[in-house]
Structure 1
């Protein structure tokens, strides 16, 4: 407007309206309505409403099943009408009108069918993640082929929706095992309430450790009979929580693989690009934040306190200097193993993106940086835990300095993402600074931890 003196901001590029409608269709019809209908959990608000007004569960849920989507569709009528008036494409009107009802009824019908086959759809199950992946692929396809979108593509949807509504409605109306299904939904809802309660237990400095207690594996995975003393105690602790700890690492490694696969797909099918050494040097400061998010240091620090130290610190032998240092060394090395797995996957992903075409100096500096980050994030949370030991026997945090230092690394990681310095010197200096911090911190720990590693009153 400032350049041409004309109001041009309202001019929409071709196919933008259609792409927007496709996004709405995917989100409302598939992501929200159909996806939500596959979830057997009844919201706490709905359960409280039924209880407070003494409503029949069956009647209330039947109304939610058949009446609520119709009311929601009516709410969409003004927006659909305005959309069609602006675009002059009235074909989208009946499709938009049936989207909520078709997705809602189809999801509930599929959920009941799975229930009849004794296949229970739960949150975080493979069914749910498979559905999320499918919808995500549709979003990507809509973006990639946005220039090929046409109204003709909506005709099959228009033809399928009435059949989907009719078939789903008929299947749901002929169902007779309402009580069994309602009982199943109520059980799932109560289980979800329990999970939410467990997630809210404790505070941010102990919550992850408390959540791990529910996943404790009481069986010893490997023979530890050759160990003794504190080494045996720590080895047993890590062995019993090994599955939980490594699952977190596996998820982050999987995320790296998925992102790498997506980038390679974009490079091959859409927009060939070269991940040059200059790009790598600009990316490396961001690896600070990536390692911070994926680090197991905070989880391990909470685990050892909540599941071991809170009880053992009452005994004098556990507060002896050699016991404290031996415990720290073992825990630090185990945390390094966890973080090193992710750091290695990140390093390999970077090398694959660059086709191993970087200079030897850059490769070595990248490896040094990731090793330094591994040491830093494995050390920091355990270090401040041992030096300050801020917890009381009630798991309260009594030391405000601990709260500050616990979040300090986030701000350091964040500041690194804002620094636009892509040079070998910067990477080398940052790596050496982290190694110096770990070295000096360990020397301080040897001197101070035997005096500070106590339960606070």
Structure 2
């Protein structure tokens, strides 16, 4: 998913911005290509028409149980991303006194994130690989096309609004929330003390620190990639202009960490089968996606945009703490 989105963004926005536009008109309406498609279609039709067992195969594969995914398969799909493989747990992670300096929910969450670190690592590993591939591709590109180096640096300087959509896309918090619900909260939410406002607030702040420490890793990697590419473009003096974009990236990783965790506590959209049946949760996600997408159209200074992101993140954090304390005890429950 992440690879597809980032690759799509790269092709859709970066190449045209650098002056490289793929003319699909000449490709799609090329007579030779059209003729080839028609001929292949005729060959395929004749092949299917002459195939003696077509009706038997068709009847077999359009049965109800084949067309529709049954509940058991759906549950396996939902649980596959959050189930912990007990055979892969490091024995050192099972030592109970590993966090003896911590107590309460700080201790609980430290153990949880340690024992589920494979889920957390897998969440950011693929993102890191994609960023690395794009980074190497751009380095190779500017080596063979030195004339585009100033354009690449200018793109980085003005790309803060674009980073909103990218950071929204690569945020791992929603998956982490799902893992927390399935492997921890689903059992503890049966007890009323776990839904106490002070307990919820302590749990939220403890988990937020853990989640932000995970999401900041790809943010730092992306920021370093921007700085290194700027240096490779022969414009080290432009780093000071790229810094606001890098700060924006790091702040956005924090913003979306707060947002997804806030939504989890205030709405708690998951059922026992890990399906999402909350219309409000889906609506909020759609609105956030739309706002992130609209940022792609913004033409503004990264300096001012970054200041706006910092202020918005601080305000959102304050609102989240207040609302969670007052509302979450009523909404953070089993569906």
> TM-score, normalised on structure 1?
0.52
| Displacement after TM superposition at 1:320 (Å) | 2.3
Return the alpha-carbon distance in structure 2 between the equivalents of residues 299 and 358 of structure 1. 39
Do the aligned residues in 1 keep the contact of 2:215 with 2:253 (CA within 8 Å)?
yes
SS at match of 1:402: helix
Distance 1:213 1:375, change over 3 A: closer
Q: 1:175 matched to which residue of 2?
A: none
Do the aligned residues in 2 keep the contact of 1:260 with 1:349 (CA within 8 Å)?
yes
Q: Within the alignment, does 1:307 sit opposite 2:179 as a pair?
A: no
Q: 1:77 matched to which residue of 2?
A: none
Equivalenced residues, count: 277
Equivalences for 1:130-209 in 2 at 5 Å? 201-202=74-75
SS at match of 1:420: coil
Unaligned 5+ runs, structure 2 = 1-25, 41-52
| Displacement after TM superposition at 1:246 (Å) | 0.9
Equivalences for 1:191-270 in 2 at 5 Å? 201-202=74-75, 210-217=79-86, 219-220=89-90, 221-222=92-93, 223-225=95-97, 226=100, 227-270=102-145
More displaced 10-residue stretch of structure 1: 362-371 or 293-302: 362-371
Q: 1:130 matched to which residue of 2?
A: none
SS at match of 1:274: helix
Distance 1:275 1:239, change over 3 A: farther
Q: Within the alignment, does 1:386 sit opposite 2:265 as a pair?
A: yes
SS at match of 1:273: helix
Aligned CA-pair RMSD: 3.8
Do the aligned residues in 2 keep the contact of 1:224 with 1:235 (CA within 8 Å)?
no
Return the alpha-carbon distance in structure 2 between the equivalents of residues 360 and 265 of structure 1. 20
Equivalences for 1:327-406 in 2 at 5 Å? 327-355=203-231, 357-359=236-238, 362-393=241-272, 395=274, 397=276, 399-406=278-285
Q: 1:105 matched to which residue of 2?
A: none
| Displacement after TM superposition at 1:201 (Å) | 2.0
Do the aligned residues in 2 keep the contact of 1:275 with 1:353 (CA within 8 Å)?
no
| Displacement after TM superposition at 1:270 (Å) | 4.1
Q: 1:436 matched to which residue of 2?
A: 315
| Displacement after TM superposition at 1:274 (Å) | 1.6
| Displacement after TM superposition at 1:285 (Å) | 1.4
Return the alpha-carbon distance in structure 2 between the equivalents of residues 402 and 51 of structure 1. 39
Do the aligned residues in 2 keep the contact of 1:198 with 1:211 (CA within 8 Å)?
no
Distance 1:283 1:358, change over 3 A: farther
Return the alpha-carbon distance in structure 2 between the equivalents of residues 412 and 273 of structure 1. 30
Equivalences for 1:33-112 in 2 at 5 Å? 49=57
Return the alpha-carbon distance in structure 2 between the equivalents of residues 52 and 445 of structure 1. 52
Return the alpha-carbon distance in structure 2 between the equivalents of residues 199 and 275 of structure 1. 55
Unaligned 5+ runs, structure 1 = 1-11, 29-44, 54-192
Distance 1:392 1:382, change over 3 A: same
1:334-357 C-alpha deviation (Å, 9 max, x unpaired): 211111000001001111121162
| Displacement after TM superposition at 1:257 (Å) | 1.2
Do the aligned residues in 2 keep the contact of 1:381 with 1:406 (CA within 8 Å)?
no
Q: 2:196 matched to which residue of 1?
A: 320
Structure showing greater relative contact order (alpha-carbon pairs closer than 8 Å, 6 or more residues apart): 2
